[in-house]
Amino acid sequence: MPVETELTVQDAFESALSIDPEVQSALKRIEAFKARRSAASALTAQPLSLEGSYRSDRNYNNQGLREIELGVSAPIWNWNERARTQSLRDTEIELVQLQLEQKKLELAGLVRQTVWNTLGANLDVEIAQARLKTAKELMVDVEKRVKAGDLAQTDFYQASALYEQSRAELLRAQGILGDVSADYSATIGLPVSILSRIQTESTDIPNGLKPLDHPAIKLAQLKVMAQQQQSDLVQTQARANPEVGLAIISDRGAFTSASEKSLVISTRIPLGNSSEYQSRVLQAESESIAAQAALTKTQRQIVVLGRVAESNLDMFAQLRASAQEQAKLAAKTFELYKKSFDLGETDLPTLLLAEQKAFEADKLARKSAIEYAAKVSAYKQALGLLP
């Protein structure tokens, strides 16, 4: 890469957070739920209504009849409705906060995958460039030997074929890097040019961390609680909210009569609809059952994914060590064949075969280092830990 800058996964994650639309709007969403909680603390189920009327016989016999009525109407809570609404709103606030944490974790998983995919593609380009350089040097050397009569023309053809193959592999690797670089910039918001290498995440795990501490499980548990509270709330809403009214009436029967004032207290009690109420109860119960089933499924998935991630971490640590040792041995073998070739003791096909094995071993060793780093990130992701 043009610029050598060491980045951390946490740096990439924080950059992705700063451009994610859902994370940016999360605070306003939390404020909206807090406003709903404040509404649940009101003395009335709905805002007060102002009522007014005016009655007159002016357009008929015009005997002086005048009546003015002004009043307010207040919807009142059903029994236990207010307390259960408040409990539900409190849970909804916790729920939206946990949803934000879960969103951050999902974004962290995407960032981790994107970072290591990009580094892997970049490594493929670097390896292809190195092999192209080696193939070109070999082709030039073989060409000189062919002209000197030390090697046959077929050896030059083989060296040229290796060079063309290396160039094709470089072009293919550059194309793949271009695709993943676009994903990297779109997801993380940083140019790929600043990404040269990145620190592997630490495998240290907080003391006392349990699979059930995973944010996804906490979120599923809270959803179960919210659905249960919703069911409890529906139980109190067998009918619409009753209303209490208070009004003052000023009336006059005729021009010769004095105005009289009176106070009116009224009430309105809806009778309800048993079928509609039963439908809402069953709907709430079905959603509660679905939330409980989702919790059980999430718990099972998190435990399994955690075990698999831990197993993969151990396996890829061994693979990395084995690949690095293999690369060292293959490189030493190639050097011996190269010296033998320079002395005329080894033919070109044997040298090319040794070069191919050394190249593949080096590629595997360097790729295994990135794969191990990716498995470390996957392990932290499976445990629900942010970078």
Per-residue DSSP letters for 252-312? ESSTTSPPEEEEEEEEE-----HHHHHHHHHHHHHHHHHHHHHHHHHHHHHHHHHHHHHHH
Sheet holding 66-75, edge to edge: 49-56, 66-75, 243-252, 260-268
Check residue 352 and give its pLDDT.
76
Rounded CA-CA distance 284/235 in Å is 10
Task: Return the pLDDT at 290.
Answer: 93
* pLDDT in the model for residue 331: 85
**What tens digit of pLDDT does each residue of 289-335 get?**
999 999 999 999 998 988 898 888 888 888 888 888 888 888 888 88
pLDDT digits (tens, 9 = 90+) for 4-62: 456 788 888 988 988 888 888 888 899 999 998 888 888 888 888 998 888 887 778 87
Query: Which of 32, 81, 98 minimizes the C-alpha distance to 230?
Result: 81
Categorize the per-residue pLDDT at 172 as very low, low, confident or very high, splitting at 50, 70 and 90: very high
Mean pLDDT for the stretch of residues 61-80: 87
Cα(372)–Cα(27) distance, rounded to whole angstroms?
36
Q: What span, in angstroms and rounded, lies between the C-alpha atoms of 23 and 187? A: 13
The pLDDT score that the predictor gives to residue 2 is 39
Higher pLDDT, 194 or 107: 107
Cα–Cα distance for residue pair 87/80, rounded to 1 Å: 11
Residues 6+ apart with CB under 8 A from 381: 105, 108, 109, 112, 309
Question: What pLDDT score was predicted for residue 196?
Answer: 66
209's enclosing H/E stretch is none
Q: At what angle do helices 81-148 and 26-40 cross, to 10 degrees?
A: 170
What was the pLDDT predicted at 103? Answer: 92
The model's pTM? 0.79
In angstroms, the CA 164 to CA 325 distance is: 29
Average pLDDT over residues 116-138: 86
Q: Is 5 helix (H, G, I), strand (E, B) or coil?
A: coil
Share of the chain above pLDDT 90, in %: 20
Task: Find out whether 35 and 156 touch, Cβ atoms under 8 Å.
Answer: no
Pull the structure tokens for residue 148. 């000197």
CA geometry: angle 342, 347, 348, nearest 5 deg: 85
Number of Cβ atoms within 10 Å of the Cβ of 159: 24
| Measured distance CA(265)–CA(248) in Å, rounded | 9
Q: What is the per-residue DSSP string for 64-118?
A: --EEEEEEEEEE-PPTTHHHHHHHHHHHHHHHHHHHHHHHHHHHHHHHHHHHHHH
Write out pLDDT tens, residues 251-295.
Answer: 887 777 777 888 989 888 888 777 888 888 899 889 999 999 999
The stretch 133-152 carries a mean pLDDT of 81
Instruction: Please report which confidence band the pLDDT of residue 64 belongs to, taking 50, 70 and 90 as the band edges.
Output: confident
Confidence of residue 197 (pLDDT cuts 50, 70, 90): low
Least confident of 27-41, 149-163, 169-183, 294-308: 149-163
pLDDT value of residue 100: 92
166: closest CA among 132, 138, 137, 130? 132
Buried b / exposed e over 296-323, threshold 16 CB at 10 Å, is eebbeebeebbeebbebbeebeebbeeb
Whether the pLDDT of residue 149 is over 70: the answer is yes
Supply 263's token pair: 């106070």
Across the range 130-152, mean pLDDT stands at 81
- What is the C-alpha separation between 359 and 128, in angstroms, rounded? 10
pLDDT per residue over 199-227, tens digit each? 777 777 777 677 778 899 999 999 999 99
Amino acid at 321: A
CA angle 275, 76, 230 (to 5 degrees): 50
Instruction: Give the mean model confidence (pLDDT) for residues 155-179.
Output: 88
Q: Give percent of the chain with pLDDT exceeding 70.
A: 97
Packed helices 153-188 and 348-382: angle between N→C axes, nearest 10 degrees? 10
Report the run of H or E that residue 78 belongs to, with start and end. Answer: none
Over range 362-377, report the average pLDDT.
Answer: 86
Indicate whether 180 pLDDT > 80. yes
- Residue 124 pLDDT > 50: yes
Top-confidence residue, 34 or 156? 34
Domain boundaries, the chain: 6-382
For the record, the structure tokens of 161 come out as 């074929």
Q: What is the pLDDT of residue 3?
A: 40
Nearest to 171 by CA among 218, 226, 215, 132: 132
What CATH code is assigned to 6-382? 1.20.1600.10
pLDDT digits (tens, 9 = 90+) for 341-368: 777 777 777 877 787 788 888 888 888 8
Contact 122, 99 (CB under 8 A): no
